[in-house]
Amino acid sequence: MTEPIARPVSQLRAGDLIAPDDEGTVYVVCAVSQPVGTSRRAELVDARTGEAGRCVRLQLHDAVLTVPGRAQWVVVAGGEASESLLVGADFHAGDERHHLTTWDVEIDLLGRPGWEQLRRGPRLEAARAA
């Protein structure tokens, strides 16, 4: 993995991996509310666990630390149920044995509630037995 770099928030897109705070937690930008403006917001999820993160106002930062890599959808089996998580491609959501299917990420420019948000794309690997 290459080094993280600071980029202006005006360049952020859905699917980017960012670390907005000093503690270094990496988040996936899963939706951007509008292309520009003072009320522009980004919805985030934790890139390691897929746990719902928070919503941040992008104009509060001149720049944000971006981490190389792409987001992906992962289906994780948990007992009788399965769960779809959005995580960073270079991160792991739980035990590797529980990853059944991985899906690429596409950007929907007309999505709601975001102006730009992530959705499932084409399948990357076949389902594996847990």
* More confident of the two residues 68 and 20: 68
* More confident of the two residues 126 and 60: 60
User: Taking 60 as the threshold, does the pLDDT of residue 1 lie above it?
Assistant: no
| Sequence-ordered list of residues with C-beta below 8 angstroms from that of 37, at least 6 positions apart, any chain | none
23-65 pLDDT per residue, tens = 778 888 988 887 777 777 888 888 888 888 777 776 666 788 8
Rounded Cα distance between 46 and 52, Å, is 6
Cα-based angle 100, 101, 102 (whole degrees, multiple of 5): 135
Phi, psi (rounded to 5 degrees) for 85: -120, 145
Determine contact, residues 126/98, Cβ cutoff 8 Å. Answer: no
- Res 96: pLDDT: 56
Rounded Cα distance between 86 and 37, Å, is 26
- Res 107: pLDDT: 86
* More confident of the two residues 7 and 98: 7
- Res 83: pLDDT: 67
- Res 82: pLDDT: 66
Determine contact, residues 76/94, Cβ cutoff 8 Å. Answer: yes
60-104 pLDDT per residue, tens = 667 888 888 888 888 776 666 666 777 777 666 555 555 567 788
- How far, rounded to the nearest angstrom, does the alpha carbon of residue 122 sit from its chain's CA centroid? 17
